[in-house]
């Protein structure tokens, strides 16, 4: 019997162990998609206790606690931090097979040198040990630096003034690049009640009025230029469903004006607007050499009562099952006319893994010229959200290898709000090394350790650096 989560955790073959320990373990991290608070990096926030690190904003943990019957007061309510931690500790032994169990213990080991399994009995001691370490000055920047992170791409609304990014850019004492990501979801979701207020906010930020679609595009382009001047390299779009419908400029302007006036749009009108705007944005991203990320397949805010009480992104989202293949193909093909930006496709529904895995091969290079010579112009992104567990990651690697060129994969990201989540890169690297190791041990690939090691290092870090960087 193997020891609990020891140095060879998830590494089932000798080849896997060599690849991980000799090549993967000490690679730096490029976390090109996350939701951390940049103001906390700028201030170098020091948390008072482990609850503030773990349970303030982590919908993965909240969801697990609810499924175990924990009262909401001990999750997002007014209970004291220690009470919330004890509630989480009681839940922990029940999470057998859940990635949250592994992430929790990787974080305890990596940042606090604690190997004791967390449960109700061990909780008081772990609380004290972690609290002592945190209050010793172990702040956000220490967590980032200890994790060997070199670059972080946050997720930012176009209305954001990026003041904390600009402050960090001037901070010569902190060597990690913290770059913004352009996330204009509220401007795309024309049928939601957030749209009109968001357009008003955009007009205010730009110091102008927005009366029509042309005004709107002008303001968005100005914000894109501002983000670019602040070092932005990536955009991100959360697509609940992939829509595609052709239209004229006059049609889109009419639809835009109707929405501003409070009118109700048909599904076809919504599709025409979203298609036109996303095509415009894709062309701008291509001009600037940005990467476009499309996150597809989430069905958000399913529990209306809890969404109204706690807000979005609080643990009441699930997998969507709408079709994406035809719409996605038509969108990418249309965008390719003006120059398709480097693109990463993510799906929350594993039924679409083969759709995205095969789609990337249709656009190996941009039709209007590329900003780089990396190849794999469209990427099948890593296993995301409900899929970032052992089975989900392994399946994504298998499909990528079956349908594409796996050594060109841009690898893992945290997609997290926690500064301790960098261990997810380690989790992924162990799974990657085990995947390669099993191919070698099964005689399906030669035991060329140096060649395999380069592949592991490229997928762990180098490919993201090459793919996202500008010439």
Indicate the pLDDT class of residue 370, thresholds 50, 70 and 90: very low
Indicate the pLDDT class of residue 366, thresholds 50, 70 and 90: low
User: Percent of the chain at pLDDT above 90?
Assistant: 94
Q: pLDDT tens digit string along 51-97? A: 999 999 899 999 999 999 999 999 999 999 999 999 999 999 999 99
Contact 291, 341 (CB under 8 A): yes
Q: Which residues sit opposite 342 in a β-bridge? A: 291
| pLDDT average, residue stretch 226-253 | 96
Q: What is the pLDDT of residue 373?
A: 60
| pLDDT average, residue stretch 356-376 | 74
| pLDDT average, residue stretch 145-154 | 98
Q: What is the pLDDT of residue 375?
A: 76
Question: Residue 212 gets which letter from DSSP?
Answer: S
The alpha-helical segments, DSSP class H, found in 137-295 are 140-146, 163-170, 185-188, 195-206, 213-229, 249-260, 267-288
Q: pLDDT tens digit string along 25-56? A: 999 999 999 999 999 999 999 999 999 999 99
Provide the Cα torsion 207, 212, 213, 214; round to 10°.
Answer: -70
User: Percent of the chain at pLDDT above 70?
Assistant: 98
Question: Tokens 């009681």 — which residue?
Answer: 90
Q: Which residues sit opposite 380 in a β-bridge? A: 345
Residues 6+ apart with CB under 8 A from 85: 49, 50, 51, 54, 55, 123, 127
Q: pLDDT tens digit string along 93-144? A: 999 999 999 999 999 999 999 999 999 999 999 999 999 999 999 999 999 9
For residue 372, pLDDT beyond 80: no
Side by side, the strands of the sheet bearing 29-31 are: 29-31, 149-153, 177-179
d(CA 422, CA 426): 7
């Amino acid at each position: 019997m193997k020891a609990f989560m020891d140095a060879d955790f998830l590494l089932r073959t000798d080849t896997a162990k060599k690849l991980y320990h000799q090549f993967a373990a000490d690679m730096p991290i490029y976390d090109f998609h996350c939701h951390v608070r940049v103001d906390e990096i700028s201030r170098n926030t020091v948390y008072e206790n482990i609850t503030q690190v773990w349970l303030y904003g982590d919908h993965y943990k909240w969801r697990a606690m609810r499924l175990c019957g924990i009262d909401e007061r001990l999750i997002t309510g007014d209970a004291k931090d220690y009470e919330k931690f004890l509630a989480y500790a009681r839940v922990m032994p029940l999470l057998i097979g859940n990635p949250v169990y592994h992430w929790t213990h990787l974080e305890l080991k990596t940042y606090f040198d604690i190997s004791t399994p967390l449960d109700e009995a061990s909780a008081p001691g772990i609380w004290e040990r972690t609290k002592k370490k945190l209050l010793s000055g172990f702040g956000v920047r220490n967590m980032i630096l200890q994790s060997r992170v070199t670059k972080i791409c946050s997720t930012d609304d176009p209305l954001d003034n990026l003041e904390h990014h600009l402050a960090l850019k001037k901070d010569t004492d902190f060597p990690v690049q913290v770059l913004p990501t352009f996330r204009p979801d509220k401007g795309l979701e024309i049928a939601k009640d957030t749209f009109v207020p968001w357009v008003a906010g955009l007009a205010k930020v730009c110091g102008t009025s927005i009366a029509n679609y042309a005004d709107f595009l002008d303001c968005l382009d100005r914000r894109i230029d501002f983000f670019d001047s602040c070092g932005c390299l990536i955009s991100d779009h959360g697509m609940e469903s992939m829509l595609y419908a052709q239209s004229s400029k006059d049609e889109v302007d009419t639809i835009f004006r109707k929405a501003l006036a409070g009118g109700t749009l048909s599904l076809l009108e919504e599709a025409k607007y979203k298609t036109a705007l996303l095509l415009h944005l894709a062309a701008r991203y291509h001009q600037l050499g940005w990467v476009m990320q499309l996150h597809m397949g989430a069905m958000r805010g399913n529990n209306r009562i809890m969404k109204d009480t706690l807000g979005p992104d609080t643990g009441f989202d699930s997998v969507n099952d709408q079709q994406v293949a035809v719409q996605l193909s038509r969108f990418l093909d249309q965008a390719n006319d003006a120059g398709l930006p480097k693109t990463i496709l993510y799906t929350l529904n594993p039924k679409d893994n083969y759709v995205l895995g095969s789609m990337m091969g249709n656009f190996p290079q941009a039709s209007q010229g590329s900003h780089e010579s990396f190849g794999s112009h469209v990427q099948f992104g890593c296993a995301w959200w409900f899929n970032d567990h052992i089975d989900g990651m392994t399946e994504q690697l298998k499909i990528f290898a079956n349908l594409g060129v796996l050594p060109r994969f841009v690898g893992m990201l945290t997609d997290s709000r926690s500064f301790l989540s960098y261990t997810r890169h380690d989790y992924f690297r162990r799974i990657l090394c085990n995947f390669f190791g099993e191919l070698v041990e099964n005689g399906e690939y030669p035991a060329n350790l140096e060649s395999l090691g380069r592949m592991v290092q490229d997928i762990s870090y180098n490919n993201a650096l090459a793919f996202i960087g500008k010439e």
